[in-house]
Structure 1
Amino acid sequence: TEEVTKVMAEVGWEVGVELAKEKGPAPIMDEEFIITADMLAKRPEMKADGIKLGAKVKGKVLMGLYSKYMQQFPEALRKEIAKNGVRFTHHSSIAPTGTISLSLANNASNGIEPSFAHHYARNVIREGKKSKEKVDVFSYELLAYRELVNSSAMPFSDKPEEQLPDYFLDSSTIQAKAHVDIQAAAQKWIDSSISKTINVPTDYDFEDFKNIYLYAYDKGLKGCTTFRFNPEAFQGVLVTEKDLENTTYKFTLEDGTVIEAKGNEEIEYDGEIHSAANLYDAMKEGYYGKF
């Protein structure tokens, strides 16, 4: 992971320099900045290079020679940046890519995220529908495995002929520390934002949960995001079929009917079919019938 992001960043900055030569650099590259005592204290190498307090130095020089991030790149590239500038000021970021992957790539890649699950439900807002619609989603690797190996394969199946091999991992089967480690490896070469989600079980121990953030701090992460399925608070956009099946919802409808059902059970109410989880969520959060 670290090597991949390194190559992407290095090639990207090289292209940025070439674009600056062709079209001109980003305006801030030619802007002059007055050197302060704080800057000299944080970058003693500036003083060693003869830069004095109050001197005016162009942005491209500060970036190419004195940025801590840029100092990990080859010296030749940094000198090119200091001389010519770059067409842009930032190159790399890694967003939470679940929606992008699903929308544009048939769930093929999640960046530094593992697949959320190989079969899960995505709660989608449909105009005119009174609650969110539960839509089944399958990972790209499961679809490929079905196409090439076993057409009846299904996660969590009790039937031996439908069970997936052990190497089918997802966000729930990867340890929290491994999530942190992969972000730490990637972000060394990411100059802008980076994000991923650490999924933890509903019954996750609080001390273990706290230690995720302490470990993330020790690894120097820019940020750390966790998700714990808690149906009493918020169901979430993505929900595994297993979580829905293991969660019982109990609530009272407007006509006084008391409903008790598993999250993945379908309920006919008010002229529509709803999943129990989505109907419960819509009524609890007050958005029922408002889409």
Structure 2
Amino acid sequence: MAQVKLSELGQEIFDTRYAYPGETKWAERAKVIARSVATAEKDADKEKTEKLFYDIVGSGDFIPGGRIIYGAGRKGGSYNMLNCYVIVPEDTVASIGKTVADMYQISCAGGGIGFNVSKIRPKGDDIGNVANSAPGSVSVLKMINEIGHHVRAGKNRRTALMGILNVTHPDLMDFLHVKLDKGELNNFNISVAITNRFLEAVELDEDWYFTFNNKKYHPYVLARVNEQQPEVYEEIRITGLDKKDAIARAKNFYQKHWKDEFKYVGEGQIKARDIWKTIWENAVESGDPGVYNIDLANSFTNVSYFESLDSTNPCGEISLPSYGNCCLGNVNLSNMVLDDGSDVDWKRLAKSVRGGIRFLDNVLSINKFPVSDCKEVADRSRRVGLGVTGLHYMLIKLGIRYGSEKCLEFLERLFATIRDEAYKQSVYLSRDKAPFAAFDREQYLNEEFAKTLPARIRMLIKRHGIRNAVMLTIPPCGTISMLMGVSSGIEPIFSAMYLRRYRQGSVWKEKLVVDPLFEQYHNEGMDTSKFIGAYDISSDEHLAVQATIQRYIDSCISKTINLPSTMDAKEVMDTAFVYMPYLKGMTIYRASSKENEPLVAIPTTPENIVQYMGSQDEVGVGVGDACSLAGGACGA
């Protein structure tokens, strides 16, 4: 198999992020990775497995996750090679303290972490005999954020964090608004965990109540007043068990002067539809929150009989239990097209999928886990995350427009093939090694995702078991796609030409970027009409692609729905509601919603093509803070 030749940008990424001292070529790192990961095999199988791994990694057909590329085979000891983890703290001092300590250990080892803080008692609840003193769930996230701000791992990689709160939690309204303050939770992505019951309440325009430990919390409107300063007036919206409790909570958290008083104005009844609207208004304004469909994640899976999937990792591609982790690698779909562009190279695809599953399973066996609880959970399910990158490049090479009906039909066949090859390989690994520890034949085959498998694969599972409880995902693949010079994940290319803004120290710089495949097609006089960008694709087309692929993925999908600056929140929330029952997660980004946006599209007019083609130079600088999640541990 021919070895991949990195582009100038890919070589720069390799040199600065992944290369071991003395390594200058991808083939050198690929050889070390293959040898290291093959050590998990029996002696009789090591040589042929190492050759397989070198073939698929060296050629760029299979790209391991960033932590694996960085950590595999490094001298001086074993490394954490898993990108992401999840912790779900309990409502005790000991658990919160352990969460903070474990978060620090995982972050220092290069792992991103997702947290669901819905078990933390609401702001203003009693702590023992101290009334109305609980700081609440958002306060826990702020504490974790501060620690994350100071962590660096690997080659100056800042940690990446995800905060999730259930839609039933009394702190929800504080949570929804926290990231509108640009200084708050700047190391976090945040998402609301929604349920089927909530979506039903939105559809029926019902009132929504918050609950915690089987207690119902009501929304109230209070007025903060001061008789000595009558001009002082502030409307406070707060949740409480009753009117008296709401006033007591307000005194503890909103009193600014010792003579302040709080007077009851009325019940601030909240409709489920108002919460849904607020979610998308804030997402349009700031990019946060996203939405995590926790009911679908826990039903359309293979693990509901032994795990609760309470959170996702920071980028949202894998739903996990507490102390769960994701072992990531991706098939490079751009390489899976025949040279004449007539069809997919199905044999090459099958080899890459099968090799990728074996590779990731081996990584679990040799990985050094930063926290012992993470190893216990990994051993229980042997969860891996085989994803893809380069989908849009594949579609362009095949002459298929992203999001079209032809595209959706093609995706059905493509991802059914990936699913089936992955599951067959995991069965063969189970036959040769052992099934995952929590495997129960009857319960596993009764899981909703397992029911979608072809009969022949279900029969194989019944006979041999299966090595990995779940194994398919769609990561964002930002850095590794640039490393390999392909489109990222299942996303469309951002634009054929764009400005890329990046930070060097405290200085923002701008560089003109021409998509390499677009440049190749243009220079060779080939048809460039299929080179549409993210903003040329309607939200319906974006979501139809995601919903189609989700039917074949046993975990989640990380995909950002890029929206033009002209799209308003109502259109977003209406479209989201249509697709939400079929998606495990959804994230949007509206153009111009953040300062110093990293990418700015340039229209591919004939004039711009003539002006910019071949002149990919630095074009300007500016000063400002870069997004703290850019280049984070999970974005490898």
Q: Would the alpha carbon gap of residues 282 and 77 (structure 1) be closer, same or farther in structure 2, given more than 3 Å must change?
A: closer
Moved over 4 A (4+): none
2:489 corresponds in structure 1 to: 111
Matches within 5 A, 1:136-285: 136-149=512-525, 165-218=528-581, 220-230=582-592, 233-241=594-602, 266=620, 274-275=621-622, 279=623, 281-282=624-625
2: CA distance, partners of 1:84 / 1:185:
30
Q: Which amino acid aligns with 2:462?
A: A
Deviates more, 1:76-85 or 1:86-95: 76-85
How far apart, CA to CA, are the structure 2 residues paired with 1:191 and 1:112? 16
1:212: Cα distance to partner?
2.5
Q: Which residue number in structure 2 is paired with residue 245 of structure 1?
A: none
Aligned to 1:37: none
Mean CA deviation greater in 3-12 or 82-91 = 82-91
8 Å CA contact 2:510–2:619 kept in 1: the answer is no
Match of 1:13 in 2: 423
Give the deviation of 1:165 after TM superposition: 4.9
The one-letter code of the counterpart of 2:441 is K
Structure 1 residue identity aligned to 2:518: L
Offset of residue 199 of structure 1 = 1.0
Other structure's SS at 2:494 match: coil
Instruction: State whether residues 26 and 88 of structure 1, in contact with CA within 8 Å, keep that contact through their aligned partners in structure 2.
Output: yes
Q: Counterparts of 2:521 and 2:487 in 1: how far apart (Å)?
A: 15
Q: Given residue 497 of structure 2, which amino acid in structure 1 is its aligned partner? A: H
SS at match of 1:207: helix
Query: What is the distance in 1 between the residues matched to 2:584 and 2:574?
Result: 16
2:464 to 79, 84, 95: 84
Whole-Å Cα distance in 1 between the matches of residues 562 and 481 of structure 2?
18
Deviation string, structure 1 residues 169-207 (Cα, Å, up to 9, x no partner) = 110101110000001111101001212111111121332
Contact 2:476/2:558 (8 A) holds in 1: yes
**Distance change >3 Å, CA 205–CA 130, structure 1 → 2:** closer
Paired residue type of 1:282: D
Matched, 1:60 2:441: yes
Q: Are residue 75 (structure 1) and residue 451 (structure 2) matched? A: no
Deviations 1:218-260 (A, max 9, x none): 5x111111111226x4333333246xxxxxxxxxxxxxxxxxx
Equivalent pairs counted in the alignment come to 204
Query: Counterpart amino acid of 1:135?
Result: K
Distance of 1:189 and 1:210 partners within structure 2: 25
Give the CA deviation at 1:142: 1.0
User: Which secondary structure does the structure 2 equivalent of 1:88 belong to?
Assistant: coil
Give the secondary-structure state (helix, strand or coil) at the position aligned to 1:132. strand
Q: Report what 2:234 is aligned to.
A: none
Equivalent residue number for residue 122 of structure 1: 500
Instruction: Note if contact 1:229-1:235 (Cα within 8 Å) is conserved in structure 2.
Output: no
SS of the residue 1:224 aligns to: strand
Query: What is the TM-score of this pair, normalised by structure 1?
Result: 0.63
CA contact (8 A) 1:61 1:83 kept: no
Instruction: State the superposition RMSD in angstroms.
Output: 2.6
Deviation digits for residues 84-118 of structure 1, max 9, x if unmatched?
22111211100123332112x21x23332111111
| Residue of structure 1 in register with 2:361 after alignment | none
Q: CA separation in 2, counterparts of 1:189 and 1:11? A: 12
Distance 1:113 1:130 in 2: 29
Deviations 1:248-283 (A, max 9, x none): xxxxxxxxxxxxxxxx973xxxxxxx24xxx2x439
Instruction: Please state whether the residue corresponding to 1:225 is helix, strand or coil.
Output: strand
The residue that corresponds to 1:94 in the other structure is 474
> For residues 265 and 15 of structure 1, what CA distance do their matches in structure 2 show?
49
Q: Secondary structure at the match of 2:500?
A: strand
Name the residue aligned to 2:162: none
Change (3 A) 1:148 1:265: closer
SS of equivalent to 1:198 = strand
Are residues 82 and 207 of structure 1, via their aligned partners in 2, closer, same or farther at CA, if it must alter by over 3 Å? same
Taking the aligned partners of 2:591 and 2:521, their CA distance within structure 1 comes to 28
Query: Is the CA contact (8 Å cut-off) linking 2:450 and 2:458 kept in structure 1?
Result: yes
Give the letter aligned to residue 60 of structure 1. R
Is 1:98–1:110's contact at 8 Å kept on the other side of the alignment? yes
Rate the CA distance shift 1:165–1:21 in 2: closer, same or farther, 3 A.
closer
Q: 1:19 to 1:99 in 2, by over 3 A?
A: same
- 2: CA distance, partners of 1:23 / 1:122: 47
**Aligned partner of 1:121: which letter?**
L
Cα deviation code 1:11-48 (max 9, x no counterpart): 1111101011112122222xxxxxxxxxxxxxxxxxxx
Q: Which runs of 5+ in 2 are unaligned?
A: 1-410, 604-617, 629-636
Alpha carbons 2:521, 2:528 under 8 Å: kept: no
Q: 1:26 aligns with which of 431, 436, 451?
A: 436
**Contact 2:561/2:587, CA 8 A, preserved across alignment:** yes
Contact 1:60/1:84 (<8 A) preserved: no
1:129-183 CA-to-partner distances (Å, cap 9, x unmatched) read: 3313323332232122133118xxxxxxxxxxxxx85432110101110000001
CA 26–230 in structure 1, closer or farther in 2 if over 3 Å, else same: same
The answer to whether the aligner puts 1:132 opposite 2:508 as a matched pair is: yes
What percent identity do the matched residue pairs reach?
25
Match of 1:153 in 2: none
SS at match of 1:213: helix
Check the 8 A contact 1:16/1:88 in 2, yes or no. Answer: yes
